[in-house]
Structure 1
Amino acid sequence: MNYQADLIPTQQLFQRLIDKYATENGTDWVKQKAEAYKQSPANRTFFLMFSAAPRFVGKEPIPFTTEELAEAQALRKGFDLTGWTMDQLVRVYFVLHLPHKDQSAYVQLLNQVFEMADMHELVALYTALPILPHPEALAKRAAEGIRTNMTVVLDAICLNNPYPAEYLDEIAWNQLVLKSVFTERPLYKILGADSRANAHLAHMLSDYAHERWAASRLVTPELWRFTGQFLNESLLQDMKTLVAKEDPHERYAAILACMESSSGLAKDLLKHHQDLVKEVQEKQLDWDRLGAAYEVDKGPLPTGYQQAGSGVSVSDPEA
């Protein structure tokens, strides 16, 4: 059986965190429900306790310590509890109790949970993907989640989550990147992004950029992170366009992409823009630092984004 994390230590960590951060009544409720489900794992029991969690433990963000965050990372590389809420922690703890020896039955039940989940429950489920058993069997569910129009759910799948880069096929992975670009998510928070760069994605992103430019719209400079390894004559033209832009983020993106390329044309471009190369080196820029700087500087969300409750829903700005 394929495990991404050892379930017993993971359950133990979650229980300790619940004991520490939940109220005494909330902790007692969680223990009672988890034990009852363990003794008699009926689907109805699980659905009820999974849904009821916020009423008993609340929805407050949890101020995890650096040591606690490191413990989670030690259980599963890339598993990040930053920003988690109390109900999210408890719901994932409950999910870790689902019977999983029978892969088919496990995936079927988990799919039912996904299909019945509200927005906050989906966030918990998608952030749990890196620690759930049978990860290969969950790839289709993760790919379906990319189609969501709820930004908080999309972020749970795409950002600070090691699962997509490790288990999505190329088609689903490319869709994840394109959706993240289209909805202007911070691409530097997509874990494993560089390892999954591919030629098809590079040209899809270039086509998207050309459509945006033709409509006099902005293009996130992070988009070019996925092109450097595949620079050809066509993509080099994009780099020449970028170095002529007013926005320094775009100019730096062209330099970073060319620095990753073995193309003689890319090297020639770098020779002609030594001033930009020097700036990139002096600022010690890489794609992560460029992305973080751009996230700070780009300002408010563009037209087409609307606040919806506690999350953000995304409408197609091109429609």
Structure 2
Amino acid sequence: MTFAKTLVATSVLALAAASAQAKDTIRVAGNFATEHSSSLAMAKFEEELERLSGGEIDVNIFPAQQLGGAAENVQAVKIGAIEMMWVGTAYLTRTVPELEIIGLPFQFPDRETAFAIVDGPVGAALDAKLAGEGMTSMGYMELGFRQLTNSKHPVESVGDIAGLKIRLQPNETHLATFRALGANPVAMDVKELYSALEQGVIDGQENPFAIINVAGYAEVQKYISNTGHFFDFISVVSNKKWFDKLDADKQAMVREAMATAIAYQRELAAEQDAAGLAKLEDAGMTYSPVSPEFAQALRDATAGVAAETKARLDPELVELLDAETAKIGM
């Protein structure tokens, strides 16, 4: 090879290396199954952001606990070990307790009302709390209405819940709700849940129909009821220092791509939830629908939990929530 050709080859390699170094890389971790709506939405985020950035931003998605469980991902994003995650909002409540304000029992009558709250001033106030803990909120996906399963017997009354050892997310309001129903709630990371159910360490768990289906819990649970006791969200958050270092154009691209992904996820989540129960029955679970009388009894038994939660949170945030719910006629 001539000197000129060697010089050209060396220059091309140097430019390629410089280009690779100029790329921004985003590692995004999640604990949801690959086929869950949120994981599919993050794949869309990857596709959309790489398109918007012309390949200048490289996105690597790690679903299904590939980078650890939910609690581990929260800590990894906080310290900047990974750039971004999508996680059930309940896993953030021990870092930002104010998030419990959108996890009260029987709080939302439907998903439209739930999103009206988190997409408005209440969500903005919670985002500010997250920022104070070193995390930038990218928006809220749907986790959905949570339903109760167990391996012991059908649940058709509040009395049927009494004594059941139920796994819950690490959220104080959620735990208090099931104590009020007479259960023995246990906070447990999702990565431990299947084996705990399989081994009989716990009797049951609660999750949206779609999660129960894709996680394979029908293999280790027999009974299911549409209790709908909480409507739950998935928070998408990034490490704040990392996001703040991006230039304004790239920040805008990240937010635009995420807005597209979140809109897609919310639509897909509704579809997966609607189909989930039928799939669980096909898999052999026994379904006991919740009667209007049973639903009222659940509300009556947990009525004090919301008041207790509000009493220990920021009064200004509680006032804001009450004002916003009044606006939409709740």
Q: Give the structure with the larger helix fraction.
A: 1
Higher relative contact order (CA 8 A, sep 6+): 2
Greater per-residue strand proportion: 2
TM-score where L is the length of structure 2: 0.24
> TM-score if structure 1 supplies the norm length?
0.24
